[in-house]
Structure 1
Amino acid sequence: MFDWFHDPNAWAALATLTMLEIVLGIDNIVFISILVDRLPAAQRPLGRNLGLALALVTRLCLLFSLSWIMGLKEPLFHLPWPEFLHGVSGQHREADPDGTIGISGKDLILLIGGLFLLYKSTHEIHHKLEDATEPENEAGLPKVNAAGATIAAVITQIALIDIVFSLDSVITAVGMAQNLSVMATAIIVAVGVMLWAAGPISDFVAKHPTIKVLALSFLLLIGTALIADGLHFHIPKGYIYFAMSFSLAVEMINLRVRNQKA
């Protein structure tokens, strides 16, 4: 199983796949950071670690269920291709010759996950705006919902969305490597890096409200891309990552300008 230790090509595949898994895991870290921010400060590290541990378990379980994953690509039913998209170039879409879209189990997971991200991001942005406009209490601080979120509720939501992110991650692994142990090693190393990076990223997002809103906007973008993928309209990941990187760079400049004025 580990005979690839002496194969340079396998090590190259491991390095490439690990980097890809880390990039694909950024979405997961952002989502977990947003959710654990609703927890009491003392519970946030536990929430982050449990969330990423769930991500690792989900990825490995899916990886060792390869036949099931491949079966998810078989169409369960067909939908007509939307009329307003008939003129769209076929370069980034997949439709059957009869003009219909075959919706598979994988597509359903992507659609449900995308809708969940859109709902959750919109809800969090609305909550953020409400907090900003609520009257101040006697201490001069905005009123905050004392109940907050429970760690069980947060972990449940993380577990649900982990399925979507893990599916994308595992399918990438299957497409890039042939050896199961190489795939598993890449996933374990990538989640280890995510565990190390999640704390600083979460703290930074929580400390800067505008970054949090930007992160929520990223989740809206990712949710839209997942829905598009579920409908066989594939948006190149490079476009999404460029938009996220450019927006983040502009916001970092804004933060620096505000700090200089303060």
Structure 2
Amino acid sequence: MEYLLELAASPTAWIALATLVVMEIVLGIDNLIFISILTNKLPVHQRTKARRIGISMALILRLGLLTTVAWIVQLTAPVVEVFGQTFSWKDMILIAGGLFLVWKATTEIHHSVDIKSEAEKAASSTVTLGMAAAIGQILMLDLVFSIDSIVTAVGMTEHLPIMVIAVIAAVVVMLVASEPLAKFINDNPTVVMLALGFLIMIGMTLIAEGFGAHVPKGYVYTAMAFSALIEVLNMLVRRSRQRRLDAEAQGQKV
């Protein structure tokens, strides 16, 4: 208790907490985009449940990993060398997760541009993706993003209570934002393609990180924010054009 009171009275601790909360929320965006896209392929009555399960498991995984901070730190130690390049367990997990993201996003893009009818696509989606499969894929990426998140937290502060509060705050934000984000993505087909592009970029970033090439997260998220802004402008233009056409059509009827 005395330790917690000292932390509460420390301005440095509050600054570290605020910084880490923001970092954890930003890192959670990747996870949330994946969960939103994947659960939108489920039947409508299962989507909310799948999102809540996926995000809840992300919280459990991250809190569980925080109890093994010493083990998490060891994951960054080299364990194998290939052609002069050393890899740690964290590197291999990031590479595997990145490959999975690239494969999944590419598959979804191919499905979106396929010439099959909407009915055939819906039937194919129902057969190939059920609740269990969706939860399994979410958990797989939860693990990758959770390890990346916890390693980031360990690098920013040595105080476990600060890490726990930051992780809980970030997951609560994910839980609150998941429903409106998923609905927005589902209602705007062009946003789906943009989000899938984001997943490919994130997957390639994870692979690069696994091979030791550090990619500043600021560059990645700035590119994502700029692309999202352009898409918002495109949506406004489309809506404005549609309103103009509707007005002209009503004028001709009169």
- Aligned residue type for 2:111: H
Residue 249 of structure 1 aligns with which residue? Answer: 229
Taking a change above 3 Å as real, the CA distance of residues 136 and 242 of structure 1, as seen in their structure-2 partners, is closer
- Aligned residue type for 1:2: L
Q: What is the alpha-carbon distance in structure 2 between the residues aligned to residue 8 and residue 136 of structure 1? A: 57
3-state secondary structure, aligned to 2:86: strand
Q: What is the alpha-carbon distance in structure 2 between the residues aligned to residue 143 and residue 204 of structure 1? A: 21
Residue 94 of structure 2 aligns with which residue? Answer: 110
- Aligned residue type for 1:18: V
Residue 50 of structure 1 aligns with which residue? Answer: 53
Taking a change above 3 Å as real, the CA distance of residues 257 and 11 of structure 1, as seen in their structure-2 partners, is same
Deviates more, 1:22-31 or 1:1-10: 1-10
Shift of 1:240: 0.8
3-state secondary structure, aligned to 1:257: helix
Alignment of 1:1-262 (within 5 A): 1-3=3-5, 4-80=7-83, 100-130=84-114, 133-135=115-117, 144-145=122-123, 147-148=126-127, 149-262=129-242
Q: What is the alpha-carbon distance in structure 1 between the residues aligned to residue 118 and residue 89 of structure 2? A: 48
- Aligned residue type for 2:44: A
Q: What is the alpha-carbon distance in structure 1 between the residues aligned to residue 13 and residue 208 of structure 2? A: 33
Q: What is the alpha-carbon distance in structure 2 between the residues aligned to residue 135 and residue 36 of structure 1? A: 21
**Residues 48-73 of structure 1 deviation map (CA, whole Å, 9 limit, x = unaligned):** 11111011111111111111111112
**Residues 86-119 of structure 1 deviation map (CA, whole Å, 9 limit, x = unaligned):** xxxxxxxxxxxxxx22111111100100000011
3-state secondary structure, aligned to 2:206: helix
Shift of 1:136: 6.2
3-state secondary structure, aligned to 1:2: helix
Shift of 1:155: 0.6
- Aligned residue type for 1:134: K
Shift of 1:194: 1.0
Shift of 1:230: 0.4
Shift of 1:186: 0.8
5+ unaligned residues in a row in structure 1: which ranges? 81-99
Taking a change above 3 Å as real, the CA distance of residues 135 and 169 of structure 1, as seen in their structure-2 partners, is closer
Q: What is the alpha-carbon distance in structure 2 between the residues aligned to residue 23 and residue 157 of structure 1? A: 21
3-state secondary structure, aligned to 1:235: coil
Q: How many residues are matched?
A: 237
5+ unaligned residues in a row in structure 2: which ranges? 243-254
Identity within the alignment, %: 46
